[in-house]
Structure formats: C-alpha cells, structure tokens
A and B are shown apart, each in its own frame.
Chain A
Amino acid sequence: MNIQSFKQQWFGNIRGDILAGTVVALALIPEAIAFSIIAGVDPMVGLYASFTIAVIIAFAGGRPGMISAATGAMALAMVLLVKEHGIQYLFAATILTGVLQIIWGYLKVAKIMRFIPRAVMMGFVNALAILIFMAQVEFIFGVSTLTYVFVGVTLLIVYILPRFFKAIPAPLIAIVVLSAIVITMDLDLQNVGNLGTITQSLPAFFIPDVPLNFETLQIIFPTALALSIIGLLESLLTASIVDDMTDTGSDKNREARGQGIANIITGFFGGMAGCAMIGQSGINVKSGGRGRLSALTAGVVLIILILVFAPLVMQIPMPVLAAIMVMVSIGTFDWGSFKYLVKAPRTDAIVLLVTVVTVVWTHDLSKGVFAGVLLSAIFFTAKISKVKVQKKGLTSDVENIYEVQGQLFFASVEDFTTYFELNEMPNHVTIDFTNAHVWDDSAVGAIDRVMLKLQEKGRHVTLTGLNEPSKKLLDKLAIHQEAGAKSPLH
C-alpha cells in the first residue's frame, strides 16, 4: 500500500472531506461532552481538546482521514488524577503524555505494536466498551421514570431512523428533537448545564498552574505514561483500520509523533489528552472523508458550533446523552469476540478474558493490556518450552543416538536434563541437535551438566547437528571440553 502524495492527502477529495468532516463534528459534540463528564471535568475541556487535537492531527498526523479528539479510553485513565489533584495537573499530564508519545514515535513504536496479541486487542476494545457503558449507568438507572422514557426514545431514534434517513446523523436529530421537547414542556430532567458550564470563547494559551518540581512529576508521570500507551494503542489500531478501509498506507511512527504534538499543544490550551477514535474515523470514512481536510473541517466546525450554540448545548438532557453513549459503547464492542472465544485456543480465550477483567477491575486500559501481554508471553513460553529427546532405534548396546527436538532455553532445559538423568545410557552417546536450537546460557549450562555427568560415568559423548548460532553460543560459554572440569554440585 502506497502512502499518498502531499497534494492528494490535502486536496484529493475536497468535497467529500468537507461534508464528512461536518458530519463528524456533529457526532463529536455529544461524545466530547460525555467523555468530559467521565473524566470529571467541565465539558469545555473535552470540547477544546477535540478542537485542538482534530486540527493539529490534520497537519501532524500520519494517517489522513483518521479523526482524533477527546476519547473515552483516555478520559477513563485520568479520572483519579483529576479527582485527587485537580484540573491543572491534568493539563500538565496531558503535556507530558505528548512528550512521551513523541519519544515512543522516535523509538519506532509501530514495530512494538506487533508484539500485542490479537486477544489483547479484542480485550482492549471490549473493556473500553464496557467501561463507557458503566459510566452511563448513573444517568440512566434509578433516576426517574421520565429518564427511562427519554433513554428509550433516544435509542429508538438512533437505531431505527438511519434505516430510512441518513443525511443527518441520527444522534443529532435525537438531541435536537428531544431537547426541544424538554425545553418547551419544561420537563424536569438533568441536563449538561447541571454538570458544568460551556463558555462561548476560543481556547487560549496558558501554562498549567502547577509547581515545576519533582513532586509534580511524581504525581503526573504514572497517569501520563498510561495515557501515552493507551493513546498510541488506540491510534495505531484505528490507523490500521482506516488503512484497510481505504486501501491506502500510512506512516504509523509519524502518527505517534503527531499524537504527541497534538497532546502537548492541547495541554497548553486547556484541553484533556486525546487520541484517534475508531468510531468517529469509521463515520468519517463511511461519509466519504479520505484526506487531511476532513479532520481539519471536523475540528473547525465543532468549535464554530460551540461558539454559536453554547447555551443550547447546555440544555441537552442527560438521559439523551447517556443513551447516545450506550449506542457508542455497543458500536465499540467487538461482537465477533464471542465467536472467537468459542473457536480460539483456550489460552487465547483466557488472555482475552483476563484483559477485560483487569481493565474493568482497575478502570485502567493500560493495566489490562499489560496483564494480557504478560499472560500471553507466559503462555507462549510454556508452549514453546516443550523439548523432546528421542532415542534412535539402533540395536547396538554400546552406542546410540539421541535426537533433541525443540527450543532449548531457560524454561525448557529441565525436560532435557531429566531425560539423560533418568535413562540408562550406552557407552557411546551421540546427542543430535539437528532439530533443536540452543538459545541462552541456561541451555548451554544444561548441555554442560549432561555431558559432564555422562563423562564421569565413563561414557563417550558426541554432539552433532548443532546449527551455527547454537555452536557459537556453546563455544563461548561451555566448559565441558576443558580437561579436568568437574560437574557442578547440584
């Protein structure tokens, strides 16, 4: 897949990009507000972030046609920091997140992403969906009967209306129509304005009001590290999806650096850290967006709409917003996972479940990914650490050939040594390594031990079939050739 030219990236699809960008802007507003509420900050923080991130990524990103803004995955990871230390620390953490992401980008993070198994990726999106849903529960259940009615009506609108009418995003129609009903009938429902204010002003540059010392760094670093990993994970996953949808290539490391630049600037303009959005990018591509202009349009239209309609945005009823977020969470969930759980190897299924459970337990996606990757590494080690020794069927009593099969390394040496300890050996022993690979000093140590033990018993041992790297390692580390070497005491 080729990466398009600069001109193609910007001006290859002007009409489609502007239309799709506008659709995305409309769909972004409720999400930016809802994610701000999840993070425990004023809606303006998420809206400013969505504006600055979308606009900066249009220039700095590596994947044209992808939409980045304030996201749920990031909002969830900052809840604790906001609660315990306040908003200024969030801005500082956002800047540090950006710095870390630029470093990741220069370290070629896209390559590291290949080490993340698919079961962990599935766990990531599913856990995200579950957390977004859980964040809506307090606005839906046990509030009032009227709330249930509005949630129900909103869900009907967002799921049924698109079957007949697609020009305007259904969530927007739900918001406008239901807000109008609430306002004209003066119904008693919680609205966005009850949870924070929306101001009609552009974001302004300021330096976060935190002391510049080591203690501040200690406070913000863990959050920033988690944010930088989560952000890149979702961004690079989204980039791969957009690559596939549009049949074009993208520069993943440039995207990582672009995400970093966007977060640094966002932190200085009073926004929360964000990343690419799978759902919004899908909406963009589906609506015909392909180029950088679509992200730019989305950001600019979003801020214009906020500047003009702020008082009305504050009137959006919470049940309507919560229902829209339920739709977002259902759309985020990877429903194919259920089929995967049944079909996949048991170990992969366990990795997926552990990832999801860890995230839901800790509310931190990066911890889930870490647990999932660690667990699959353990499973992988267990799987490849099976070493078999097979006796060739020579009829002779004085000599025999023993064939070693598998990867010989720290986790697998025991199978190898016990075989030679438990079985009676003839006078001439040939150990054939044609189907084996010697990986580390534990493996060399094991070979050493086996040879010395056999030599002590007066057996003649020959090693054959070692491949070049194994032989080199053995020559460098082994002691068995040295005359008079004693077997280790264990």
Chain B
Amino acid sequence: MYKRILVAVDGSVHSKRAASHAVFLASASPGAHVTLLYVLDYDKTRTDVIHSLSSEELHIDRKNKIMPIKELFTDKGIPSEIKLLHGEAGPVIVEHANKENYDVVVIGSRGLNTLQEMVLGSVSHKVAKRVHSPVLLIK
C-alpha cells in the first residue's frame, strides 16, 4: 500500500479531518511514514514576526499548532515528521510533493480562508490538478 504519505496541514478543522483520514490510511499499511507539511504564506509570516518576541518563540508557536495533529499519528505508533515551508500554499505543496515523489498526498478540501478561496480558487484544487501522485481529497 502507500508507504510515503504527505499530509498538508494548516491548523484548520479541515486539515485535521484530512489528518485523521491519513491516520486511517497509514494504519492500514505497515511501514508507512507520514510527512506533515505546513506552508506559511508571506503575509502570515509578516504578521507572525511582528507578533512574536523572537525567532525561537515563533518556532515554538508554530510547532505547537501542528503538535495535536502529529499526536494523532504518534498515538497509533505511526512515524511522522513535521515540515515547515514558506511561500504560497498551492505551488509550494505541488513543488514539494512532486520533488519528493510521495505515494499519496492527502489534503482537506477547504482551508482557513473562505474569501481567498472564492477569488483565488482553492489550494486543494490546484494540488489535485498538478501533483503527479494520487491525491486524496477529504471533504
């Protein structure tokens, strides 16, 4: 089955749902390894830096956001790692997924920002269209 699984996370409810499906998927295939990819866009980066006292504190804040999701995997004994990348979510996920050749990419169908989705089109749509490996879209 799927050995190398990429899950796009952003701390939203949808991405948590995507993660729990990835748990389901990974527990069905022994030896699976999960990468949790968190993409920080540039405007978010600006706000984060202004709102934090130091880069160390910022680092901890971001990890804390993803830790509950990582624990879903740890609880089931599935090895997982967190990956933080900067840039526009859609293109960055596509680039990373294609470069690393994952067996499957799991992504929630709606991220944090409804307005953005309306005008820009959804990140999941871009990912589904451009990633070479199979994409599991979680509604």
Contacts and interface: CB of A to CB of B under 8 A. Distances in A.
Given A285-B42, A286-B42, A244 B50 contact: no
A286 B51 CA distance: 21
Nearest to B86: A245
Interface string B43-55: 1011111111111
A163 B119 contact: yes
B60 interface: no
Contacts of A399: none
Contacts, number: 50
A118 interface: yes
B47 A334 contact: yes
B120 A121 contact: no
A18 B86 CA distance: 21
B72 interface: no
Nearest to A278: B46
B54 A245 contact: no
Contact of B86 (A114, A125, A244, A336): A244
B52 A118 contact: yes
Nearest to A125: B50
A133 B43 CA distance: 20
Contact of B53 (A118, A241, A243, A286): A118
Given A245-B42, A245-B86, A247-B86, A121 B48 contact: no
A286 B44 CA distance: 13
A237 interface: yes
Contacts of A240: 49, 55
Contacts of B88: 286
Interface in A233-266: 237, 240-241, 243-247
Nearest to B46: A241
A336 B47 contact: yes
A244 B48 contact: yes
A237 B46 CA distance: 9
Interface in B41-78: 42-43, 45-55, 58
B49 A237 contact: yes
Contact of B46 (A114, A163, A282): A282
A114 B45 contact: no
Interface in A159-183: 163
B55 A243 contact: yes
Contacts of B54: 114
A285 to B, nearest CB: 6
- The binding surface of chain B is classed by DSSP as helix
Nearest to A116: B53
B96 to A, nearest CB: 13
Interface string A268-305: 00000000001000100110000000000000000000
Nearest to A246: B86
A419 interface: no
B24 to A, nearest CB: 32
B67 to A, nearest CB: 20
A376 B48 CA distance: 21
B120 A244 contact: no
A282 B42 contact: yes
A122 B45 contact: no
A245 B41 CA distance: 8
B82 to A, nearest CB: 14
Interface in A214-250: 237, 240-241, 243-247
Interface in A120-176: 121-122, 125, 163
Contact of A244 (B49, B53, B119): B49
Contacts of A163: 119-120
Contact of A122 (B48, B51, B55, B120): B51
A121 B42 CA distance: 18
A155 B88 CA distance: 24
A245 B45 contact: yes
A379 interface: no
Contacts of B49: 237, 240-241, 244
Contacts of A117: 53
B58 A122 contact: no
Nearest to A122: B50
Which of A125, A244, A285 is the most central at the interface, judged by chain B CB atoms within 10 Å of its CB?
A244
A207 B86 CA distance: 45
Interface string B11-53: 0000000000000000000000000000000110111111111
B61 to A, nearest CB: 12
A380 interface: no
Contacts of A282: 42-43, 46
Nearest to B53: A118
A309 interface: no
Interface of B: 42-43, 45-55, 58, 86, 88, 119-120
10 contacts: A122-B51, A125-B50, A240-B49, A241-B49, A244-B86, A282-B42, A286-B42, A334-B46, A334-B47, A340-B51
Given A241-B49, A244-B55, 12 more contacts: A118-B52, A122-B50, A240-B49, A243-B55, A244-B48, A278-B46, A285-B42, A286-B88, A334-B46, A334-B50, A336-B50, A336-B51
